[in-house]
């Protein structure tokens, strides 16, 4: 089964309500749908986040030429071939080795996203070729896996306590764990938000804080001790983007709350020292942002060896398969509690994983089990 073509569909929908993390504002939901076609008629589907979408799509077209004719089941060979285009290499100037010249440094994030979209589609193809869902292909047996609801984004001029009403609705819908955004406001205001959330969801619901890298070490230690009485499961991405594994070790040694990190790390090479340092209890990765399912598997295996639980970021219809395969070495997958936060993911697929009662119920259809609503694609294509 040979690869014949890579096709991309960049999709965009304006959000009904713009909202903030501690890092940035979100006005639109975007997603780029990938197709990898083969000479026997099978098509695999992948998806990626990130932008600019035009750059990602241009790179995907370039990569499609690089892998045309390769074995669609040889995902490692495809991944390594594409990854090599990001690096200087002997004989690589001017396309002399049959591949593009090394890509500009500034395109590396978009290139990792394009690799991810292709790689996810190849895993979808692999499952379809085998007639098995991906989780069974990986040795998993659980068709339902734990998930938690993310919400609590910052909305301009909204009362501090409004986050509590939002996440209480997720609990009413069956979620047993919720995560809210923190780090953008003063410590006093954040304590108000966290206290209101805990009061609204009760003592038995797990509560995580997604911080989006707002603090230095000492400020974060103070924050951790301040919110600890509200029984917080983890602090996610707590430190500034430039701080390194040894900084996380210092924080972990002083924090009463475990740490989670990893969704913005590009490869296994940049996350491995965080895992090996012992600072993390949970490692997050995102196949749809960087490098795809193959690299997520590599990260998950390393985490399992070090006793770090995997908690993949978003895309439960994809990452739920990985969570199933890793059993007790996985915490669960992430979902958006409100469909309006990412309307594309909630409307793009007509079948596949179903999130209900705090669980991701995986499809037993081959591959990732997703079918595409092509009318929706046409309406939202940029």
Of 237 and 345, the one with more pLDDT: 237
Asked whether 197 and 163 are in contact (CB, 8 A), the reply is yes
Convert 147-158 to b/e letters by CB count within 10 Å (16 or more is b): bbbbbbbbeeee
Are 321 and 143 a contacting pair, CB within 8 Å?
no
CB 47 within 8 A of CB 314: no
Q: pTM of the prediction?
A: 0.95
Condensed to tens digits (0 to 9), the pLDDT of residues 209-266 reads 999 999 999 999 999 999 999 999 999 999 999 999 999 999 999 999 999 999 988 8
- Copy the structure tokens of residue 260: 């989670």
User: How far apart are alpha carbons 63 and 59 in whole angstroms?
Assistant: 6
Distance between CA atoms of residues 70 and 116, nearest Å: 17
Residues 170-222 pLDDT 10s? 999 999 999 999 999 999 999 999 999 999 999 999 999 999 999 999 999 99
Is pLDDT of 98 > 90? no
Q: How far apart are CA 248 and CA 266, in angstroms?
A: 18
Domains located in the chain, CATH noted: 3-131 (3.30.390.10), 136-380 (3.20.20.120)
Tell me the residue length of the chain.
382
- Around Cβ 255, how many Cβ atoms within 10 Å? 21
CB 175 within 8 A of CB 148: yes
Q: What is the pLDDT of residue 275?
A: 97
């Amino acid at each position: 089964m040979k690869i014949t073509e890579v096709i991309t569909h960049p999709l965009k929908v304006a959000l009904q309500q713009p909202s903030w993390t501690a890092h940035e504002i979100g006005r639109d939901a975007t997603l780029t749908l990938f197709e990898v076609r083969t000479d026997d008629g099978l098509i695999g589907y992948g998806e990626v986040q990130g932008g600019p979408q035009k750059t990602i799509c241009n790179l995907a077209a370039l990569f499609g030429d690089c892998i045309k004719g390769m074995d669609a089941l040889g995902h490692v060979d495809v991944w390594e071939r594409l990854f090599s285009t990001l690096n200087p290499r002997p004989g690589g100037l001017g396309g002399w080795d049959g591949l593009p010249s090394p890509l500009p440094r500034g395109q590396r994030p978009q290139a990792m996203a394009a690799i991810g979209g292709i790689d996810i589609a190849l895993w979808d193809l692999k499952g379809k070729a085998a007639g098995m869902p991906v989780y069974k292909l990986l040795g998993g047996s659980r068709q339902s896996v734990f998930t938690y609801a993310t919400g609590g984004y910052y909305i301009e001029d909204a009362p501090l306590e409004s986050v509590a009403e939002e996440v209480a609705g997720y609990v009413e819908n069956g979620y047993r764990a919720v995560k809210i955004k923190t780090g953008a406001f003063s410590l006093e205001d954040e304590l108000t938000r966290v206290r209101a959330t805990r009061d609204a969801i009760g003592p038995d619901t797990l509560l995580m804080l997604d911080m989006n890298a707002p603090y230095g070490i000492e400020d974060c230690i103070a924050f951790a001790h301040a919110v600890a009485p509200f029984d917080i499961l983890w602090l996610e991405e707590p430190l500034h983007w430039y701080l390194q594994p040894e900084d996380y070790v210092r924080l972990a040694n002083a924090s009463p709350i475990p740490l989670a990190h990893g969704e913005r790390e590009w490869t296994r090479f940049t996350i491995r020292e965080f895992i090996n340092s012992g600072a993390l209890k949970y490692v997050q990765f995102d196949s749809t942002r960087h490098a795809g399912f193959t690299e997520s598997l590599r990260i998950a295996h390393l985490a399992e060896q070090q006793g770090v639980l995997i908690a993949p970021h978003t895309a439960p219809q994809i990452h739920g398969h990985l969570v199933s395969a890793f059993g007790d070495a996985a915490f669960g997958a992430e979902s958006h509690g409100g469909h309006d936060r990412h309307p594309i993911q909630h409307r793009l697929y007509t079948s596949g994983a179903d999130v209900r009662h705090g669980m991701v119920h995986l499809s037993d259809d081959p591959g990732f089990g997703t079918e595409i609503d092509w009318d929706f694609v046409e309406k939202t294509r940029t």
